[in-house]
Amino acid sequence: MGRLSDRVLASRKKVIVPGQLGLLVLATMLLGPLEWAPSWLLPIYFFCFGVCVSTGPVLFAQVKEMFPAGQSATAMTAVNFFVVMGAAVLQQTMGMVLGREAGLQPADFHRAFALPAAGLAATWVFYLFARPGGRGQGASQ
């Protein structure tokens, strides 16, 4: 995705916004619609899921470009910290939603997978207001 954001579109945001929106659409399919998908469609689904997820690391380049050289490492560390801690907290929360009960039903998993979908939706909306960054900004100032 780096080549796409660097050379083709010349914008990190133009890669991240549609990629993460695609990921949101695919994540919402885990809330029920994917249950009725034919099995031959699953490899295509997961391939698309992987392509959409691969737009996320472009954010590190954008964050690096948004801050002066002396602050860019701290900013990228903060992004990495919140990505890792967000995943840890989200997994624990999903586990609490599922509980320790035997005989879980699909609706139980739909509730659990609604959490990352809702978080991604909120984050996507907030990201729309982020400065676009771009080569030569931030780090070179």
Residue 78 in any domain: the answer is yes
Residue 47 in any domain: the answer is yes
**Tally of structural domains, the chain:** 1
Return phi, psi of residue 10, to 5°.
50, 35
- The span from the CA of 54 to the CA of 48, in Å, is 10
Q: What is the pLDDT of residues 18-69, one digit of tens each?
A: 999 999 999 999 898 888 999 999 999 999 999 999 988 888 888 888 888 8
- The span from the CA of 4 to the CA of 13, in Å, is 11
**Is it the case that residue 117 has pLDDT exceeding 60?**
yes
| Enclosing domain of residue 75 | 2-127
Do residues 82 and 56 make contact, with C-beta atoms less than 8 angstroms apart?
Answer: no
What sign has the CA pseudo-torsion 44, 82, 91, 116? Answer: negative
Residue 139 in any domain: the answer is no
